[in-house]
Amino acid sequence: MNLRAEGVSKSYFRKTGEANFFVAVQRTDLTLEGGQVTVLMGRSGSGKTTLLHMLAGLLQPSEGKVFLENTDLYALEDQALSRLRNEKISVIPQSRSAIETLSVRENILLPATLYGHISGETERQAQAWMDRLGILPLADSRPRELSGGELRRMAIARALVSRPAVILADEPTGDLDDENTILVLDVLRESARAGAAVLLVTHENDALKYADVACRMDQGILRIC
């Protein structure tokens, strides 16, 4: 399964003294193929996260379209798009994304819980990913008891547990030490081998070793390396 952006761009209207438009992402074409890891690098503020959010169906592009196979994401009603995101597209956000009222295990199972997809298999998957990412002893802890790195790994486990067709990871190794960075990059690589299309937005040059496709973003312009 592939995720394809065709001529997408995003402009914001800014009121900074004098009203003006700010172009975060220039017209861009990008295809994330199933089975491949695409690494997207670039300086802060270059438009990487904006592009990722447009690819995830979270941010309506100013122009252009995003297709998952042949489905135009932004032509879907909110309910259909939300369900498709729940079932096919997993996002690992750059910032903290835990629901504070739930335990680590419940957070990881939350995407499946929302649509009643919880099964014994899902719970086994959650257990396995927690074990693999080293957060199994924290399964019943509350997010506020976790460090930044542990929360990051929790978000990664949550993204992987439903075996999504597309994984969009925004700085997934941001809070991690070297050992855990390698672990997470390995996990994402394995997911790609299992058929997922993976986009890895990162500052880590080491991530390039895991890339099937490498791109760089600069002032909203995407260049394939």
CA gap 128, 152 in Å, rounded:
17
User: Minimum distance between the CB of residue 170 and other proteins, rounded to whole angstroms?
Assistant: 9
8 A C-beta contact, residue 61 and residue 11: no
The rounded distance, in Å, linking the Cα atoms of 88 and 102 is: 23
Q: Segment near other proteins (CB under 8 A), from 27-35, 113-121, 125-133, 200-208?
A: 113-121
What angle separates helix 120-132 from helix 104-114, to the nearest 10 degrees? 140
Closest approach, Cβ 212 to other proteins, in A, equals 25
Contact between 102 and other proteins (CB under 8 A)? Answer: yes
Q: Which of 50, 122, 181, 202 lies at the binding interface for other proteins (CB under 8 A)?
A: 50
- From the CB of 187, what's the least distance to other proteins, in Å? 19
Min CB(225)–other proteins separation in Å: 25
- Contact call for residue 224 and other proteins (CB under 8 A): no
Q: By CB under 8 A, is residue 163 in contact with other proteins?
A: no
| Closest CA relative to residue 29, chosen from 56, 51, 59, 12 | 51
68 binds other proteins (CB under 8 A): no
Nearer to other proteins (CB atom), residue 95 or residue 209: 95
Q: DSSP letters along 38-70, please? A: EEEEE-TTSSHHHHHHHHTTSS--SEEEEEETT
How many residues bind other proteins (CB under 8 A)? The answer is 36
Residues 6 or more apart whose Cβ sits within 8 Å of residue 204: 173, 181, 185
Note whether 99 binds other proteins by CB under 8 A.
yes
3-state DSSP assignment of residue 94 = coil
Task: For residue 175, state whether it binds other proteins (rule: CB under 8 A).
Answer: no
Contact flag: residue 98 with other proteins (CB under 8 A): yes
Is residue 71 close enough to count as binding other proteins by CB under 8 A? no
Q: Are the C-beta atoms of residues 39 and 210 closer than 8 Å to each other? A: yes
Binding residues for other proteins (CB under 8 A): 49-50, 53, 56, 58-60, 78-79, 81-87, 91, 93-102, 106, 109-111, 113-116, 158
